Amino acid sequence: MKLLKIYAALLILLLLVSPIFAEEHAAEAPQPPIKKYAEFTLGGTYTDTKIVSTFGTSSTKTLRGLFKKLDALKTDDDLAGVIFKIEGVSLGWATLQEIRNRLNEFREAEKETIGYLESGGNAEYLLAATMDRVVLMPTGSLNLTGLRAEVLFYKGLLDKLDIEADMLAMGKYKSGVEPYTRDGMSDEFRESMTALLDDLYAQLLNHIAESRDGISTEDASDLINRGPFTAKEAKQTKLVDALQYYDELVATLKAETAEDEEVQVVKPGSERQRKVPDMNSFAGLMQLFSILNPPQRAQATSENQIALIYASGAILPDIDSIFMPMSVVTPKTLKKAFEKARTDDSVRAVVLRVDSPGGSALASDLIWREVMLTQREKPVVVSMGNVAASGGYYIAMAAGTIVAQPSTLTGSIGVFGGKLNLKGLYNKAGLTKEIIAHGQNATLYSDYGGFTPTERERVEKMMRTVYEDFVNKAAAGRSKSFEAIDEIAQGRVWTGRQAQELGLVDELGGLDDALSIAKKQAGFTEDDKVNLIVLPKQRPFFEQLIEQMIEDTEGSIQLEGWKIGRLEGWGFQPSLLPAFHSMLGAHWQYVVTWLTLFGFEGGTQVVTILPYDISIR
């Protein structure tokens, strides 16, 4: 009887405990493996640096920021692949090639890449074509239509306003004055532009052929002539792999996995999204101020450093303005950066990243001097972005090594100059000027008349002196004769690939390639850890404002017209600059640059600048 009670108690205990064992067993059961894809939006504009505006740095996306995100995706062991939603891309050719090279690295990491397009043009497609598969929305279109060059000419407008652009140019192909003095291209301008477009078009065909199996460069040319394409046509011609809505793409990924696998699509960094500040409260305003003016991170000191110096934008004289709504390069800023890199013993090499169409010849020469002095002390390697032509090439040519993308616009070794004659506009408005002058050339800088014969002679001589100095310095930097450089100079613009063949560029590649070369020239091995310091330091608006106030109180003498970028004399006010910027769009930087270089009395400039930009659409 006693034994029976023991057995009964054990049976009851077993019944009570068995669910616990079952739960533990169920908890220990292996979860189905998860195949994780990251969703990453690739679109908009990517620049080298952010623009520091009145309220802090802008929301402009930078290339280095993009590359950091791509590297994080590439090295994330939890990811099986990345879905790139590509939309609204606005990039220069060289930037696009640099991003393409980064996307191609995903294949080495053995991660599947998918390019998803709702619709796309040349730029969007060239990025998507690097992927393992290209998916287009069923109602979308593929606007693969080839390339075109458009140059806007202003002479007709100036004629209507009775404004004469009295300009001179040095160099057979120096076409910078033509938009202001002609209604269309000269034969030389057309020849140079056609040669540029020929090379860029060949690169476009090569990119398509190398990215899509079964499509040769000849096929790519034929396809472009048949574009644009409906979604169905793009699929039939094998330009895309599938026609799907985004949810259908995700469903396909799930269907392609094994039965015991799950597919998960995540957005990287979504858990760190910042809450939008409440603008109706003081605390919210302070939070906004903190976001727009973040504290500077202290950089770790290191004996092994490479300085990365950015020169992005038009090259202008020193402008004591904190209201300029665009990136500019000035001697004062670059001088500080190079002095820091040159005198800091922990900095072993310098990489100068140039993305500039040029500008003031005098400002370019001052920056060239800093590059040359630094090259004497330590290696300087130039990385060229979308454009490093005219003044942009001027500041690069003193470096020991020049690296450019195949599509970088470079060269344009030439100068032009002159002034705007506003006499007709004054008279049209009922204004007249009476001038009393002592000195044969006293009216040289007057806006109330063109150049006299003797004034034109002096301006032409000054310009020829600048041109010959440009060629001489390029010859010294490239270890060539004056005659050899003069033959390929003449204001002619070249692609990076053409420039390498001519000896104006040493290597083809991007910023990473330039950094690798600098690291090697500094004596580092591949395994050495190197700290990168970025110059010039970008500072928030209020820090610049305080510094400017201190400089003003120390007795620096400034012309009032310079306070807002030499525009006040033309009736411009700082508060109006954003409005003009929004109206003129992409042409704004050329308008501001032109007015800054030529739009003030006593400032006729000899300039080295491109009058146009080439972007891929």
Confidence of residue 513 (pLDDT cuts 50, 70, 90): very high
- pLDDT above 90: residue 176: no
**In the prediction, which pLDDT does 381 show?**
98
d(CA 340, CA 61): 27
Under the banding of pLDDT at 50, 70 and 90, the label for residue 557 is very low
Q: Is 122 exposed, middle or buried (0-12, 13-18, 19+ CB in 10 A)?
A: buried
Q: With 50 as the cut, is the pLDDT of residue 546 above it?
A: no
In the chain the first and final C-alpha atoms are separated, in Å, by 94
- The crossing angle, in degrees rounded to 10, of helices 588-598 and 577-584 is 130
Question: In sequence order, what are the residues at sequence separation of 6 or more whose Cβ sits closer than 8 angstroms to the Cβ of residue 381?
Answer: 349, 350, 351, 352, 399, 400, 401, 402, 403, 514, 515, 517, 518, 521
Which amino acid is located at 133 in the chain?
Answer: R
Catalytic one of 53, 141, 321, 390: 390
Instruction: Measure the CA–CA gap between 264 and 37, rounded to whole angstroms.
Output: 6
- Provide the β-strand partners of residue 42: 86
Q: Label the pairing between strands 56-57 and 52-53.
A: antiparallel
Between 302 and 267, whose confidence is greater? 267
What is the mean predicted confidence (pLDDT) over 120-130?
A: 94
Q: Residue 83 and residue 254: Cα distance in Å, rounded?
A: 14
% of the chain surpassing 90 pLDDT: 55
Question: Tens digits of per-residue pLDDT, 403-461?
Answer: 999 999 999 999 988 888 999 999 999 999 999 988 898 888 888 999 999 999 998 99
Residue type for position 399:
A
CA dihedral 318, 322, 325, 330 (to 10 degrees): 20
Question: Is 390 marked active-site?
Answer: yes
Give the count of alpha carbons within 13 A of 118, CB side only: 9
List the domains of the chain with CATH numbers: 1-28 (no CATH), 34-145+227-272 (3.90.226.10), 304-413+477-616 (3.90.226.10)
Give the 3-state secondary structure of 380-434.
EEEEEEEEEECHHHHCCCCCCEEEECCCCEEECCCEEEEEEECHHHHHHCCCCCC
Strand segments, DSSP code E, in 49-163 are 52-53, 56-57, 61-62, 79-89, 91-92, 112-117, 133-136, 141-142
Q: Which two tokens stand for residue 451?
A: 């150049």
DSSP secondary structure string, 13-68? HHHHHHHHHHHHHHHHSPPPPEEEEEEEEEEE-EESS--EETTEE--PEEHHHHHH
69 and 79 Cβ atoms separated by less than 8 Å: no
Q: How far apart are CA 181 and CA 418, in angstroms?
A: 11
Angle at the Cα of 64 from the Cα atoms of 58 and 68, rounded to 5 degrees: 115
Taken as a whole, the chain contains a residue count of: 617
Cα 30 → chain centroid: 49
What is the structure's pLDDT at 227? 85
Rounded to whole angstroms, the Cα distance separating 493 from 202 reads 17
- Residue-averaged pLDDT of the chain: 81
Report whether pLDDT(195) > 60. Answer: yes
Residue type for position 70: L
Q: How many CA atoms lie within 13 A of 128 on its CB side?
A: 28
What is the torsional sign of CA 126, 129, 134, 138? positive
With cut-offs at 50, 70 and 90, classify the pLDDT of residue 531: very high
Give the lowest-confidence range in 227-231, 294-298, 507-511, 588-592. 294-298
Render pLDDT for 458-497 as a digit per residue (tens, 0 to 9): 989 999 999 999 999 999 999 999 999 999 999 999 999 9
Strands 91-92 and 46-47: unpaired
What six digits make up the tokens of 295?
């504290």
> Position 464: which residue type?
R
Residue 248: strand, helix, or coil: helix
What pLDDT does residue 8 have?
54
Read off φ and ψ for residue 512, nearest 5 degrees. Answer: -60, -40
